[in-house]
Amino acid sequence: MHERREGEINLSLTGLTAHELCELLRNREISSVELTRAHLERINTLEDKIRAFVTVTADLALSQAKETDAKRLRGEELPPLAGIPVALKDNMCTKGIKTTCGSKILYNFIPPYDAAVAEKLNEAGAILVGKCNMDEYAMGSSTENSGFYPTRNPYDFNAVPGGSSGGSAAAVAAGESVIALGSDTGGSIRQPAAFCGVIGLKPTYGAVSRYGLVAYASSLDQIGPFSKDVTDCALALNVIAGHDPKDSTSAPVDVPDYTKFLVNDIKGMKIGMPREYTGQGIDPEVNVCLRQAAARLEELGAVCEEVSLPHTEYALPAYYIIAPAEASSNLARYDGVQYGLRVEGDDIISMYSKTRSQGFGEEVKRRIMLGTYALSSGYYDAYYLKALKVRTLVKQDFDKAFEKYDCLLTPTTPSVAFNFGDKINDPLAMYLSDVCTIPVNLAGIPAMSMPFGMVKGRPVGIQLIGRAFDEGTLLRVGYALEQNSDLTRPRPELKGVM
């Protein structure tokens, strides 16, 4: 097995995909230690500019890599992602490793157990290089709401990477990690994937265990992968999907081999294009890219037709009642007593109040207050119950569309990545960043964002939406588009940092 001398790093390795690197590892052209060192060096080179990580686990990563190399030398049969560097959003518990949720209130929290997805990645032989930055408790669309520092977009350091999984998306885009996991409550995987020019998949609700994921809104949260291409996305989904008896929301369904859907053939497939996703508020240049993607799919033999999802306009207000209401309940546990930050007070009530006041950021406080209000006596029926009814109508829209279409095609976001400070002081404008992604979470169905073109030097994301537990169709359509267009694989230049 070829091993480079100490201090000699092959930075070209950080630009390759997981399946390309797996081949090099299997053929012993590189070692896992060499690959891991290359990514850790990449992190050291870029982190002062990008700040994608809250915690870098260099010692653990090198230890895992050495163990993997030793197994390979002994001729052991290794799992699918053996030796591949990965990162986790910092709201997934990792045993013995700090898990902060991007919040000062959990600045010192070290979980005693692994989240189910962390356990599965470890069993698959993946190398954990670190925990990624995020909007505090996954509440935000820009990673500006992190309790520590903002993450920057690798394509333009003046631009946000999206949120709340901005650190995970930026880490993959910048080559700091080969694959990363994020969580998606209203678009928090797909929106940053679009802004950072990578693949981001939100699986069907219940397809991936939420055990060990720190909850924001329990009926909406779902873990999913970021990757450089569709093949890597399928490989990651193969590892993390599946029923988990420790998670009551986990669905007992069979998990296919998602790589079997990676076929370059979509002839005869019917793809709907909801008109509600391309109207007012959507950047015309983003719509141009969407139409180019549709034209390419038609050239490949698919049929693209306009369809209507009439209740789409009500999804955003319904979401911002349901999600804060669930957050109000979930975040009640952070009281200064059980774990995390404690600010002493004159009595237990003042201790609660001071801990939450000083530990939570402004956006988290805003959503707790919104949720508590919506659940309060006299307003539950008027707001929360009505929002649940709207959720049902949104799901019925999708069900009706899928009677005719194999999947739907929309923009992922209304615009490309915006600049820091543009929306941070206007919560409503920030919330509108997720207008194209939120309906999917309300319906509990899968959706994947993939890059297609650039506007003003920043990536455009298009979104494929599918039936429940039909991630395979999304991967098939995305793979065909990726194999037949140069617009699906942008790469940041990272000027001035290399």
What positions carry a catalytic annotation? Answer: 89, 164, 188
Q: How far is CA 144 from CA 78, 107, 115, 159, 412, in A?
A: 40, 17, 25, 11, 20
**CA distance linking residue 145 with residue 128, whole number of Å:** 25
Read off φ and ψ for residue 23, nearest 5 degrees. -65, -45
**CA distance linking residue 214 with residue 325, whole number of Å:** 16
Cβ-in-10-Å burial (0-12, 13-18, 19+) of 51 comes to buried
276's CB contacts (< 8 A; 6+ apart) are 308, 309, 310, 312, 313
Sheet holding 303-307, edge to edge: 53-56, 127-132, 85-89, 179-184, 222-227, 199-202, 447-455, 458-465, 407-411, 270-274, 303-307
Q: Report whether 88 contacts 342 (CB < 8 A).
A: no
Q: How far apart are the first and last CA of the chain?
A: 28
Residue of 492, 428, 430 whose CA lies nearest to 459: 492
Residue of 232, 245, 279 whose CA lies nearest to 19: 232
Q: Report whether 128 contacts 61 (CB < 8 A).
A: yes
436's CB contacts (< 8 A; 6+ apart) are 187, 277, 282, 410, 411, 412, 413, 414, 463
* Beta-sheet pairing, 303-307 with 270-274: parallel
440's CB contacts (< 8 A; 6+ apart) are 187, 202, 446, 447, 465
State the Cα angle at 415 between 409 and 416, rounded to 5°.
105
Residue of 279, 228, 236, 280 whose CA lies nearest to 257: 236
Residue 191 falls in which region: left (phi positive, over 0), alpha (psi -120 to 50) or beta: alpha
426's CB contacts (< 8 A; 6+ apart) are none
Strands (E), 101-251: 127-132, 179-184, 199-202, 222-227
